[in-house]
């Protein structure tokens, strides 16, 4: 781990104290999905009501589909430029 930008180094024995850990908690995956959903919705996608891990974005004739399964994300669509922009 590297110190955050702007932290003045005061010696070699300086450490960063972790205030809140997200990993190894039962809620970690839920929190991750919540943050991910927030970001994807802000990018113009809408979440499917039938499958909450499915996100769809329509822009004119362009269709981009994003599907999350455990720790994988599948991106597909009919416009390669919108897929590259999403990545």
- Number of structural domains in the chain: 1
Task: Assess contact for 83 and 73: CB atoms under 8 A.
Answer: no
pLDDT in tens, 14-67: 667 777 665 666 677 888 889 999 999 999 999 999 999 999 999 889 999 999
69 found inside a domain:
yes
User: From CA 83, how far away is CA 74, in angstroms rounded?
Assistant: 11
Task: Assess contact for 76 and 65: CB atoms under 8 A.
Answer: yes
Q: Burial, 83: exposed, middle or buried (Cβ in 10 Å; 0-12, 13-18, 19+)?
A: middle
Q: What is the mean pLDDT of the segment spanning 61-85? A: 92
Structure-block tokens of residue 30: 């839920």
User: From CA 29, how far away is CA 33, in angstroms rounded?
Assistant: 6
User: What pLDDT, on the 0 to 100 scale, is given for residue 12?
Assistant: 67
52 found inside a domain:
yes
82 found inside a domain:
yes
Q: Residue 60 belongs to what domain range? A: 28-86
Whether the predicted pLDDT of 76 surpasses 90? yes
8 found inside a domain:
no
User: What pLDDT, on the 0 to 100 scale, is given for residue 29?
Assistant: 80
Whether the predicted pLDDT of 78 surpasses 70? yes
């Amino acid at each position: 781990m590297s110190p955050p930008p702007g932290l003045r180094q005061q010696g070699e024995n300086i450490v960063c104290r972790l205030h809140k850990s997200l990993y190894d908690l039962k809620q970690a995956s839920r929190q991750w999905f919540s943050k991910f959903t927030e970001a994807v919705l802000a990018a113009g996608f809408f979440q499917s009501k039938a499958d909450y891990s499915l996100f769809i974005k329509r822009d004119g004739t362009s269709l981009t589909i994003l599907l999350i399964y455990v720790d994988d994300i599948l991106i597909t669509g009919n416009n390669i430029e919108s897929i590259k922009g999403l990545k």
